[in-house]
Amino acid sequence: MEDKELAIKKDPRKYAIYSRKSKFTGKGESIENQIELCKQFINNKFEGVSEDEILIFEDEGYSGKNTNRPEFQKMLKAIRNNEIKIVACYKMDRISRNLSDFVAMYDEFQDYNVEFVSKNDNFDTSTSMGRAMLQITMVFAQLERETIAERIRDNMRELAKSGRWLGGTTPTGYKSTQITGSITFDGKERQAFKLDIIPDEAKTVKLIYSKFLETKSLTQVETYLMQNKIKTKNGKDYTRFSVRSLLTNPVYVTADKTMLEYCNDKGISVYAEESKFDGKYGIMAYNKTAQTVGKANKIKDFNEWIVAVGKHKPLVNSKDWITVQTLLSQNNSKAYRKPRSNVALLSGILHCAKCGAFMRPKLTQRKNADGELIYDYLCETKEKSKSVICDCKRVNGNKLDKAICDEIKNLTIDKSEFSTQLKSMERKLTDSVKEYRNNIANLEKVLNKNNQDIERLIESITSADSTSADSLIKEKINRLSAENETIEIQINENRIAIDNQNLSDLNLEILKSTLENFSSTFDEMSIEQKRVALRTFIKRIEFDGEDVQVYMNTDEEFEINQEEVSANAKEPLRADSE
Question: How many angstroms separate the CA atoms of 351 and 548, rounded?
Answer: 10
Question: How many angstroms separate the CA atoms of 110 and 578, rounded?
Answer: 33
Through-space distance between the first and last CA atoms of the chain, rounded to whole angstroms = 49
φ, ψ (nearest 5 deg) of residue 483:
-65, -40
Nearest Cα to Cα of residue 247 among 279, 300, 197, 206 = 206
Q: How many CA atoms lie within 13 A of 222 on its CB side?
A: 23
pLDDT at position 129: 65
pLDDT at position 100: 60
pLDDT at position 343: 77
Cα R_g (the chain), whole angstroms: 31
pLDDT at position 41: 84
Q: What letter would DSSP give residue 547?
A: E
All residue ranges of the chain with pLDDT < 70 are 1-5, 22-29, 64-66, 97-101, 103, 121-124, 126-162, 180-190, 290-297, 331-342, 412-426, 428-429, 462-469, 499-520, 553-578
Question: How many angstroms separate the CA atoms of 573 and 566, rounded?
Answer: 6
pLDDT at position 306: 82
pLDDT at position 335: 42
